[in-house]
Amino acid sequence: MIDLCEYIKGNKDLNTLLMHECDIYFYKQSQEIQFLNNQEVYSIPCKAFARDGSGGEFVILNDGSIGFIGSEGEVGRIAENLEELLTFLIHAGNIFDFNCRYIYQNQDLLKKYCNGYLSKVRENYRTEGKDWDKIRSNIAKDLGLPFKPDELADLAMNFYQAATRSPYFSCKYADGENEYICDSVLSDIVGLWVKELTGMTKEEIEMASYNQNLYV
């Protein structure tokens, strides 16, 4: 397999396309993480290799897995390797559309959300005269990665499992005499996007997440 990191860094047009489509832009070379101004202590040593559109950084951990440090303070592991991360982003566009932890507690709920997401994103692209499947499949082909939208729920679950397995990638920092732990990349908030794509209320989503056998 090609060295994806080097291949992308050496292809300016592809790197720009990934930023536009998948919210990731690769640095010319790996570097120290930028979030070190508040005496942050990360649980696993890491180096930054890319950023997202909001200024958050993708980092490679010393075990080879991939972490994310958000500009709003979110920290966590998001993939087991670069291939897994890029495959997920090609399908999902960014990690934050899939960071609601409730959707992962019920397989039917997760599939419903993913189906809603695919329908919505394809519709949005069509209104702009673009073909989402063609654009994303071409990126996947260029990188030698699979493109299987029907398996989005499985790819999303890989993201969730990476974020929740031990050893956890986390961060703590000091503020005066107090010490704080950064938020997870996963969220307990049921946002408007999740409610829209599932066609469910916040209460229905929370109920479904607590009952894995509940029909949704």
Task: Encode pLDDT of 123-155 as tens digits.
Answer: 999 999 999 999 999 999 999 999 999 999 999
Cα–Cα distance between 67 and 58 in angstroms, integer? 6
According to the model, what pLDDT value does residue 81 have?
97
Lowest mean pLDDT across 33-37, 130-134, 204-208, 212-216: 212-216
Cα–Cα distance between 149 and 140 in angstroms, integer? 12
Q: Is the pLDDT of residue 189 over 90?
A: yes
Q: What is the mean pLDDT of residues 43-62?
A: 96
Task: Compare 16 and 37 and report the one with higher pLDDT.
Answer: 16
Q: pTM here?
A: 0.93
Instruction: Provide the β-strand partners of residue 61.
Output: 46
3-class state of residue 185 by DSSP: coil
Task: Compare 42 and 175 and report the one with higher pLDDT.
Answer: 42
Q: Is the pLDDT of residue 180 over 90?
A: no
pLDDT band at 215 (very low <50, low <70, confident <90, very high): very low
Q: Is the pLDDT of residue 122 over 70?
A: yes
Instruction: Provide the β-strand partners of residue 183.
Output: 74
According to the model, what pLDDT value does residue 179 have?
84
pLDDT band at 1 (very low <50, low <70, confident <90, very high): very low
pLDDT band at 35 (very low <50, low <70, confident <90, very high): confident
Three-point CA angle 215, 133, 65, nearest 5°: 75
Joined together, the tokens standing for residue 124 give: 């949005």
The residue whose two tokens read 């989005």 is 152
Cα–Cα distance between 191 and 120 in angstroms, integer? 16
Q: What is the mean pLDDT of residues 173-194?
A: 89
